[in-house]
Chain A
Amino acid sequence: MVDRGANIDIVFRNGLKDYEVLPPADIWDNIHPVVAAKRKKRSFVFLKVAASVAALFTLGYIAYNRMGNVRSDYEISELAANDEIRDNAVKPFSVVKSSSNKSATDKTVAARQSQIASVENIPVDLTEKVISVDVNENASQTGNTALADLIHISKADNLTIGSIKPLSGKHLDSLGSLPRKSFVITEPEKQYSSRYSTVISGYGAVENTDTWSLMALASPTYASRMNYANDQLSKQLKESEKPVISYSGGVAFTYSLNKRLSIQSGLFYSSIGQEVDGISSFSGFRRYDDSKGDCNFKVVTSSGIIYAKNSDVYLSDNLSEERVLTSYNSKVFDPAKASLNYVNKSIRQDFSYLEFPVTMRYKVVDRTIDLNLIGGVSYNFLVNNSAYTVDNGSKYYIGKTDGLNVMVVSSSLGMGVEYKFSEKIFINLEPTFRYYLNPFTDATSYKIHPYSIGIFSGVSYKF
């Protein structure tokens, strides 16, 4: 039984060995789109995640900021509504309201903002036991109700006399000439000081009324790549591909969400590239080129395959002969015997992008020289893609890299120094690290993610 079974096994094994049946012609047409679509789908996952995080972060912060403003307004109203009770119950410091009319209140709030913003030496931390605020005692008597509207000083003075700085603005002209007092919030008023903490910090957010700024920046950039693959070809490509110094520049608008936080967007042009070493190029190949309509040389790089569109160029791999895909390899064609002209031993790839950044800026230090933390994402659209070599200082065109993504998303993190050159003009210096969330191409499986380091410098104008 076993022998008989083994016999029939051998019949089928040998009979079907090397047997071939041509599949229906349309199967390939179904396979290729699926393979291409799956690669694209993988890249869109990256894009969706990045875009969602950026959108959520931005919207979340704006919502939070708006809620903060509403709360401050509410605090003012609440304080105003309970004025009279507190006026009688709490001495020597209380808050009164001079108008119940809404529009009048709005105007008053605006006036408060400008005045409080002008008062110097307001302590940031009102939870401290003692604070001093310069006020004008007779402000309400002279018709300048704005400041008195916010803070009323009772007659029961246990106040200390201080000095007041000259206040700017036409509303405060009369104020500056009147007798001044400063007051002390003592321990019993702590419950009010906490309320004032909210109110005043809310006003403090509008200390700088310039909410917009226009910035022009440019930077040389050093671009390289992170290689997550361990196969031999990826390592070989990494060793032979060298980063080159590129550049980036553009304009950006910044909107201040509050005193420290701002959101920025704009339009940048950035160029990024690399040098592929060990690929010799020769000119004059056209007379030996018998093929028509197709390129004779393809160069495998980590960013994709370079198709040599220039039919006059001959390419050979000096390092391993694995990166140049051609039927004209060194076994069948010798460029020296064919008297081709040697051009260079390396190829450059250039990719240019139009970049739309969405970044958040947080002011860590707010002095004459500000220090900002900067982070966000950029949407980069491919506008130029070329491969060339350099021949006596001029570019010798080779071709293009195939399969590059039209859009890539990059994340950026930086630290910006901002020097106040004048009231409106600032000088900026921003070292920035940028990491590309998806590679330039999804066509390769090399899992190489580019990154760049640049030092952006430029000027900004606030308005």
Chain B
Amino acid sequence: MSEIKKIIKGCLAGDRRDQELLYRRHAAKLYAVCLQYSGNDEEARDILQEGFIKIFENLDCYKNEGSFEGWMRRIVVNTALEKFRSRHNLYRVDDIDTITETDAEPDNQDYAGLEAEDLLNIIKELPAKYRIVFNLYAIEGYSHKEISKMVNISEGTSKSDLSRARAILQRRVGSYTGLKKKIANG
């Protein structure tokens, strides 16, 4: 039996040490996910806390099918979406401007030298609605149809948000890399 299965069984049996062990092993990775979906550290902290409470409460629903880490990640992402929906319940389809080709920078940039921390900072600066759609589509791999149901928007809005998010990210990545090069060159 794998170690994670033993830990899960310990958690199911109410073993506080196994519960803490599970948390310590996965909290850092899941906290990074929370930061991707939230605009600030405080919100990320809330998502992580609520997410882990749900994980422990629903641990008996995990059927040992598929990745346990993936299962936990889905719970955390869903928690982030709940937070987003509750804070942006006036998010309407017609709020979104249609993206134009000219919004996007030509993608001939050099992304070298960008650390994960830089990427996280860039993504955190996105407006919430763009950040959510970009994360769900580009990172999690959901389709626009799925995203439209998850975030309660139309597919068209999802596509528009994604385009707008990409355009913003490309600009900011460019600024970041430029800035980093300047710093490196003194």
Contacts and interface: CB of A to CB of B under 8 A. Distances in A.
B56 interface: yes
Given A20-B29, A36-B16, 7 more contacts: A5-B162, A8-B138, A11-B119, A11-B173, A13-B138, A35-B53, A444-B13
Given A4-B170, A5-B163, A8-B107, A16 B32 contact: yes
B80 interface: no
B179 to A, nearest CB: 17
B96 interface: no
A31 B52 contact: yes
Given A4-B106, A444-B12, A16 B120 contact: yes
Contacts of B101: 1
Contacts of B104: 1, 4-5
A411 to B, nearest CB: 24
Interface string A3-46: 11101110111011011111110011011101110110000000
A402 interface: yes
Contact of B123 (A7, A12, A322, A444): A12
Contacts of B52: 27, 31
B91 interface: no
Contact of A16 (B18, B24, B36, B166): B36
A361 interface: no
B19 A32 contact: yes
A19 B32 contact: yes
A141 B35 CA distance: 101
A13 B139 contact: yes
B150 interface: no
A12 B27 contact: no
B124 to A, nearest CB: 11
Nearest to A321: B1
A358 interface: no
Nearest to B106: A4
A23 B48 contact: yes
A35 B59 CA distance: 12
A320 B16 CA distance: 23
Interface in B5-19: 5-6, 9-10, 12-16, 18-19
B120 A19 contact: yes
Contacts of A239: none
A35 B57 contact: yes
A28 B27 contact: yes
Contacts of B138: 8-9, 12-13
Interface stretch (A183-191, A199-207, A210-218, A298-306): A298-306
A426 interface: no
Nearest to B11: A445
A30 to B, nearest CB: 6
A3 B138 CA distance: 13
Contacts of A11: 111, 114, 119, 173
A8 B169 contact: yes
A279 to B, nearest CB: 15
Contacts of A444: 12-14
Interface in A270-314: 298, 300, 304-305
Contacts of B119: 11-12, 15-16
B14 A23 contact: no
Say whether chain B's binding surface is mostly helix, strand, loop, or mixed.
helix
Given A441-B14, A444-B13, A27 B27 contact: yes
Given A12-B138, A13-B139, A402 B114 contact: no
A321 B9 CA distance: 13
A35 B50 CA distance: 10
15 contacts: A1-B101, A4-B104, A11-B119, A16-B32, A16-B116, A23-B48, A27-B27, A30-B49, A31-B56, A32-B19, A38-B53, A300-B10, A325-B9, A325-B18, A444-B13
A307 B114 CA distance: 49
Interface string B112-129: 001111011001000000
A-B interface, 8 closest residue pairs, ranked by CB to CB distance from nearest: A443-B14, A4-B107, A9-B138, A20-B28, A23-B31, A445-B60, A19-B116, A15-B119
A233 B9 contact: yes
A444 B18 CA distance: 13
A4 to B, nearest CB: 3
B181 interface: no
A403 B14 CA distance: 7
A443 B29 contact: no
B63 to A, nearest CB: 8
B82 interface: no
A298 B10 contact: yes
Pick the most buried of A4, A231, A298, A304: most chain B CB atoms within 10 A of its CB: A4
B146 interface: no
A167 to B, nearest CB: 68
B45 interface: yes
Interface string A355-386: 00000000000000000000000000000000
Contacts of A441: 14
A388 interface: no
Contact of B13 (A3, A24, A231, A305): A305
